[in-house]
Structure 1
Amino acid sequence: MSWLKAALHPSSKSKGKGPAHDYQNPSDALPSWNPSPFDEQIRPEGRYADATDQDCESAKHFCLKHPLAPPRLLSSEAIERIRAQGCGAWELELPTVVEGRSFKGTIHNGHKSGVIRVVSKCDCPDSCIFSNLPILAGLYDPRGKDGVYYEVKMIRVPPQPGSIAIGMACRPYPGWRMPGWNRLSAGFHTDDCSTFFEDPDGGRAYVGEFAIKSGHVIGIGYRFATGEVFWTHNGRPLGTAFTGVFMPREQHDVYAAIGVTGPGEAEFEANFGAGWDFEWKEGNNWKVQGHVGMSPGGSGEADDDLPSYTDSRNDRPVLN
């Protein structure tokens, strides 16, 4: 452990610090999944910073206490919003009260350019924000699409050990944890370019460490047929990171999940397809619109007016 990590987190040993699987019961566990085919390095510790023991234990207890939400049909209101706004219906939001809110900063939805701008404060701790609608919806038909994809443009990248993490996750998810550290979540972290899937340790080296700078664009994609997760950098695919995740697809609603941690301010823009043309050109055929809200073989009508995760969360009791 470096002197910097020891000074910042004297009681921690690894980046996310804790057991990789924290399901409520064995039936919740994922089927087997595989890392990328690259001869990548598995990192037992974070390169620049670690989570605390307390945060790790709190996340473990959270996942044991709160089962995953089942996949749901969207409300008719959400479907109408998708019809009217297309990809612009996807926004970013804070975690629910139950999930826990540690994010310090502002989220600017509804920007004229079609992107969502996020600015975090210098002292923002490990935190995660989510899309208001799933980007991968288990009860909806892929409609012939190969996958789903979104991009994040860096405006200000916090200096190491600060980081921005681009990922996806099932909910509820502990809002004080970066994506990729806990159950059914994946993330690419800009501080050391490691990738994580349910990995509370140091992550995987993926394609090696390189500098993420202002103006760079990181994208994340999911391929339906194989359960493959991959990332892109300035439009260049970096290769498969994991396969067989979020499978079977019909059993999961998966949300965009973006993590931020200081020290140092961070600023970025998220684009679900309503903003700039994706840097990864093939991704323009992978937009979230056209999958979520589309019933099998239908015109997009929901068979039942069941609430979305966002709509139903107010019905959940707040547990102390």
Structure 2
Amino acid sequence: MADKVYSPPPGPPPGYDASEFQTPSTYEVDQSPPPYHNWEEAVPDTATFPPPPVTGYYCSGAGNASSDDAERAHDFCNRVPLWKPMKPSRAVYSRVENDDFHPVRPREFNGDLSIISKGTWRGTTREKNGDCTIVTNLPLYFPHENSPLVTEKRKVIYFEVKLLYLGAGPGSGEADSSGLSIGFLAQPYPTWRSPGWERGSLGVFSDDGCRFVNDSWGGKDFIAPFQIGDTIGLGMVFSLPEDINSAPGSGSRLEVNVFCTRNGQRLEEWDLHEEVDQEAGGVKGLEGDFDLYGAVGLFGGVGFEVCFDRSGWLHQPE
């Protein structure tokens, strides 16, 4: 099946007001369908909307996006709220449970992208392609179905990306490398930005191994850079606090841990709620109270394969 380029629906996307948020067990069901209910034909593309305690960096030592792209993305996020989570239909949730995810190809993507089997994609971007992010057509995590506040069980989301090829980077400088990032995000998200750079997103980057959480600067040291042939996995674990009634100041806040794997071996992890630098943003959208999508950021010429089908993973999360 060929990949598709989607156009945005008329009017603004579903809104969300954080002050109205309730725990998932008391959500009100909105009668207007969320974007993923039209997953077969109308997954929105946001590309046409107008415009750290661990060692952190003000810029990347490998490659950096333009300040114009950053300003346009900041403006987008300031004006466009995150989509309010909805309860998925049975058909939609069945596809998610069956690992049947399709890629939403952004307008900024120049290259080839195809589905090679259920939940597995392969693609190549042209050399010097600018930053862009491919996102799953459906969320991997739904608060209404998956939140430990509803199920009283922890929830793990995970997928893997294999780095197949590296060509010329998006710029002209020797340090302006090509590469990819693997991450998760809440929608809508500016598709000309990699996951981890803007609100409601996190990502780990191949060129320097740094991790980003709503951080437009240089990220934080995390793992060694990816090598061609490496398969990198990223997962998030949502769980109830040990004592939900006595966690100081947390209310009903979930514990959220993020972990990374390389070639099937589990590497490092971090607590989402650890202290962050003043320059970096918060973690709103990633705490288990919004729908979360899988995302792969690309910059320069890159060959890659993405696997959401658990039967094809090198690492099997417990």
- In which range does the TM-score fall when normalised by the shorter chain? 0.5 to 0.7
The partner residue of 2:163 within 142, 154, 158 is: 154
- 1:274 deviation in Å? 4.9
Q: What is the match of residue 214 of structure 1?
A: 228
Q: Do the aligned residues in 2 keep the contact of 1:194 with 1:204 (CA within 8 Å)?
A: yes
**Structure 1 residue ranges, 4+ long, deviating more than 6 angstroms after superposition:** none
Q: Do the aligned residues in 2 keep the contact of 1:230 with 1:240 (CA within 8 Å)?
A: yes
The partner residue of 1:92 within 103, 106, 110 is: 103
- 1:196 deviation in Å? 0.2
Tell me: CA distance 1:61–1:234, structure 2 relative to 1, closer, same or farther (3 Å).
same
Matched, 1:46 2:60: yes
Could you say what the CA RMSD is over the residues aligned between the two structures, in angstroms?
2.6
Q: What is the match of residue 78 of structure 1?
A: 92
Q: What is the match of residue 173 of structure 1?
A: 189
Q: What is the match of residue 252 of structure 1?
A: 290
TM-score by length of 1: 0.67
Tell me: CA distance 1:79–1:243, structure 2 relative to 1, closer, same or farther (3 Å).
closer
Q: How does 1:241-320 map to 2 (within 5 A)?
A: 241-244=270-273, 245=283, 246=285, 248-249=287-288, 251-262=289-300, 265-274=301-310, 276=312, 278-281=313-316, 283=317, 285=318
Tell me: CA distance 1:42–1:181, structure 2 relative to 1, closer, same or farther (3 Å).
same
Q: Distance between the aligned counterparts of 1:133 and 1:169, measured in 2?
A: 12
Q: Please tell me the residue identity of whatever aligns with 2:266.
A: P
> What are the ranges of 5 or more consecutive residues in structure 2 without an aligned counterpart?
1-15, 21-51, 169-175, 240-254, 274-282
- 1:123 deviation in Å? 2.6
Q: How does 1:16-165 map to 2 (within 5 A)?
A: 40-82=54-96, 86-87=98-99, 89-95=100-106, 101-109=107-115, 111-112=116-117, 115-141=120-146, 144-158=153-167, 161-165=177-181
Q: Please tell me the residue identity of whatever aligns with 1:224.
A: F
Percent identity of paired positions between Structure 1 and Structure 2: 28
Q: Do the aligned residues in 2 keep the contact of 1:186 with 1:195 (CA within 8 Å)?
A: yes
Q: Distance between the aligned counterparts of 1:182 and 1:201, measured in 2?
A: 10
Q: Distance between the aligned counterparts of 2:307 and 2:72, measured in 1?
A: 31
Tell me: CA distance 1:178–1:112, structure 2 relative to 1, closer, same or farther (3 Å).
closer
Give the 3-state SS of the residue equivalent to 2:144 in structure 1: coil
Q: Please tell me the residue identity of whatever aligns with 2:158.
A: Y
Matched, 1:202 2:218: yes
Q: Distance between the aligned counterparts of 1:113 and 1:70, measured in 2?
A: 28
Q: Distance between the aligned counterparts of 2:236 and 2:17, measured in 1?
A: 26
Q: Please tell me the residue identity of whatever aligns with 1:195.
A: R
Give the 3-state SS of the residue equivalent to 1:58 in structure 2: helix
Q: Distance between the aligned counterparts of 1:222 and 1:140, measured in 2?
A: 16
Q: Distance between the aligned counterparts of 1:163 and 1:149, measured in 2?
A: 20
Question: Cα deviation per residue 1:264-288 (whole Å; 9 max; x = unaligned)?
Answer: x211111112552x2223x2x5xxx
Give the 3-state SS of the residue equivalent to 1:154 in structure 2: strand
Q: Please tell me the residue identity of whatever aligns with 2:126.
A: K
Q: What is the match of residue 315 of structure 1?
A: none
Q: Distance between the aligned counterparts of 1:248 and 1:50, measured in 2?
A: 27
Give the 3-state SS of the residue equivalent to 1:67 in structure 2: coil
Q: Distance between the aligned counterparts of 2:295 and 2:118, measured in 1?
A: 21
Question: Cα deviation per residue 1:130-168 (whole Å; 9 max; x = unaligned)?
Answer: 011111111113664541111111111346511200001
The partner residue of 2:265 within 219, 225, 236 is: 236
Q: Distance between the aligned counterparts of 2:82 and 2:155, measured in 1?
A: 26
Q: Distance between the aligned counterparts of 1:197 and 1:120, measured in 2?
A: 25
Q: Distance between the aligned counterparts of 2:167 and 2:270, measured in 1?
A: 24
Q: Please tell me the residue identity of whatever aligns with 2:103.
A: L
Count of residues in correspondence between the two structures: 237
Tell me: CA distance 1:194–1:136, structure 2 relative to 1, closer, same or farther (3 Å).
same
Question: Cα deviation per residue 1:141-199 (whole Å; 9 max; x = unaligned)?
Answer: 36645411111111113465112000010000000001100001001110111110000
Q: Distance between the aligned counterparts of 2:94 and 2:209, measured in 1?
A: 38
- 1:72 deviation in Å? 1.6
Tell me: CA distance 1:26–1:238, structure 2 relative to 1, closer, same or farther (3 Å).
same
Tell me: CA distance 1:194–1:158, structure 2 relative to 1, closer, same or farther (3 Å).
farther
Q: Do the aligned residues in 1 keep the contact of 2:200 with 2:286 (CA within 8 Å)?
A: no
Q: Distance between the aligned counterparts of 2:133 and 2:119, measured in 1?
A: 21
The partner residue of 1:227 within 247, 250, 256 is: 256
